[in-house]
Amino acid sequence: MTILVIGATGTLGRQIVRQALQMGYPVKCGVRNLRKASFLREWGAELVYADLKLPETLPNVLKDVSVVVDAATLRPDDEIGTTKEVDLIGKLALIKAAKLANVKRFIFFSIINNDKFDYVPLMNLKLSIESNLRQSEIPYTIFQLSGFFQGLIAQYAIPILDKQTIWSTQDTAKIAYMDTQDVAKFCLRSLVLPETINKTYLLGGPKSWLSSELISVCEKLSGQEAEISFIPLFSLGLIKTLAGFSKWSWSVTDRLAFAEVLSENTSSSDNINEAYKVFGFEPNDLLSLEDYLKEYFATMLKKLRDLNYDQSQAARRKDLTF
């Protein structure tokens, strides 16, 4: 059973490739830049050129493929033109090509609560793809995600270490972030669970977090105090309205609209726990956010200490030469 991974060089895609290879699956990666994806070949995957913006490249990459895992996505703040070109037109072309290739399973990663926020362009695109996939008659499994651990590094950890301002909403909703390695486990487990065919699952970590709680954890682990600027959610709506009159409003209003999604309680513990039962996982089987951040800060702080030591030694040697 050959697995085709689209978006294989991404944060999630590479974890799926790595774990699939470790489990003995033949893995094919559809990539745009063969040189950038060379590390996947070193792992044992087959690289084939494919570009979602060029539908004519898709039939070739789908040859002898049984499973398509679509892990390719853009961020909420990407330009709407590029987002639509890749996250809608390209994905619909991929589904069509997969059906013609008689693919036996199509796994798609979507976003939680997209039906409640269909006015947000990226959410609307995900909702459209979900609908199209369900109507395609290809056996599918859809995972709706709320957020990755990895995305929190740039949002919280790095600004604290660099003594930069963290911009945050005064939210009251908790989000169940999840490690991409654990998402990959669910993805691959679905291939051996017939009961997951033609089903949609909400995935999240075993614990939900407020942004203020995340900041506190980062402060404790880094030993530094965060500089925080809070933006009330009601003001986002005003800024969004004002931005609508500007020539650059497409990208700005999209970012602000997506921020509103975080004001909703996006993590339903009951639905998440149900997914754990179906896939045979216990909360303790998954990496906790505390452990993930602890490892990150331990590594980064060691690098900073080593760097400071090297710089002090270099300065001392320079002084001795005079």
Residue 59 lies in a domain: yes
- Token reading at 271: 């639905």
- C-alpha to C-alpha distance for 185 and 290, rounded to whole angstroms: 20
Q: What pairs with residue 49 in β-bridges?
A: 31
**What's the confidence (pLDDT) of residue 235?**
55
Q: Flag whether 219 is in a domain.
A: yes
pLDDT tens sequence across 7-21 = 999 999 999 999 999
Structure tokens given for 80? 């709407």
- Model pLDDT, residue 242: 44
User: Residue 279 falls within a domain, yes or no?
Assistant: yes
Vertex 173 angle, CA 167 and 178, to 5°? 85
Model-level pTM? 0.84
Domain membership of residue 273 (yes or no) is: yes
CATH number of the domain enclosing 159: 3.40.50.720
- Look at the chain and report how many structural domains it folds into: 1
Weakly modelled stretches of the chain, pLDDT under 50: 76-78, 80, 239-256, 259, 262-263, 309, 320
Asked whether residue 311 is domain-assigned, the answer is: no
What tokens appear for 275 in the block? Answer: 């997914």
8 Å CB contact between 50 and 61: yes
User: Do the domain assignments include residue 317?
Assistant: no
| CA-to-CA dists, residue 82 to 33, 35, 69, 257, angstroms | 17, 22, 21, 18
Looking at residue 108, its pLDDT comes to 97
Domain presence at residue 320: no
pLDDT, one tens digit per residue, over 178-190 is: 999 999 999 999 9
Q: Specify which residues 67 forms β-bridges with.
A: 3, 105
Domain that holds residue 101: 3-304
DSSP 285-316: GSPPHHHHHHHHHHHHHHHHHHHHHHHHHHHH
Residue 305: the pLDDT is: 74
In a domain? residue 316: no
Cα gap 80→12, rounded to integer Å: 22
SS3 per-residue string spanning 212-259: HHHHHHHHHHHCCCCEEEEECHHHHHHHHHHHCCCCCHHHHHHHHHHH
